[in-house]
Structure 1
């Protein structure tokens, strides 16, 4: 099985949450969620680390990663987070775009709403694709 890529510009918020939730909720052996960004930040946003800990998911050890064509080739699907970045074109890789607000610099209550929206979309995505 190949990986599912969750991508956004900085790889410091939405895509990190999506990959973490995918790895928690996916039931099919061999499926793994990974994340990357076209212009990765130096670290995951503090508010994202905090709100994910509320769900018992620790992102403190995660480092944002650059989205490269080579990394994209390892994936069967790339899910972008509505940030308008241009992903590398990889023949045979399906690209899906989710319009999700960036939690960066948002009050914690808004960041929690974004987190919960991402978790719900991940659950739907897994159910629709039998992951």
Structure 2
């Protein structure tokens, strides 16, 4: 357990919030020995189009990213899981810290609404990195 360092960002479809969070975490983190990963309890077939578009504005290309199923085994490889709306369906893993962020799902939102969600996620990620010296 002591070697678990990575941070998982989880939501239901792994097609919006958690993908943005993992991408921003990997962009802004200071440490090379840790990475952000993302998964969903009921993964979509692809990242939402609006999410791909708004992330391109930030220089992050999610077009080749495939949503991943959040399994207890995958959750057991990380030190922290930050959930974003998966609620009861997010797995409980002994020894893994769970943090819940209530963030609106960008699915079916307008471009401008999705950008607001993106910017909120990026601000939270930067604060999380700074607060935890990551």
- What is the TM-score normalised by the length of structure 1? 0.97
Root-mean-square deviation (Å): 0.9
Question: Which residue does 1:80 correspond to in 2?
Answer: 83
Once the two structures are overlaid, the 10-residue window that deviates more, 116-125 or 74-83, is: 74-83
Question: Which residue does 2:107 correspond to in 1?
Answer: 104
Structure 1: runs of 5+ lacking an equivalent: none
1:2 corresponds to 2:8: no
After superposition, give the CA deviation of every residue in 1:66-95 in whole Å (9 maximum; x if it has no partner): 000110011000000134242222110000
The answer to whether the 8 Å contact 2:12/2:85 transfers is: no
Question: Which residue does 2:132 correspond to in 1?
Answer: 129
Structure 2: distance between partners of 1:85 and 1:44 = 22
Structure 1: distance between partners of 2:108 and 2:66 = 19
Structure 2: distance between partners of 1:32 and 1:63 = 17
1:15 corresponds to 2:18: yes
Question: Which residue does 1:41 correspond to in 2?
Answer: 44
1:51 corresponds to 2:58: no
The answer to whether the 8 Å contact 2:7/2:37 transfers is: yes
The answer to whether the 8 Å contact 1:8/1:85 transfers is: no
Once the two structures are overlaid, the 10-residue window that deviates more, 99-108 or 76-85, is: 76-85
Aligned with 2:102: secondary structure? coil
Runs (4 or more) in structure 1 with deviation over 4 Å come to none
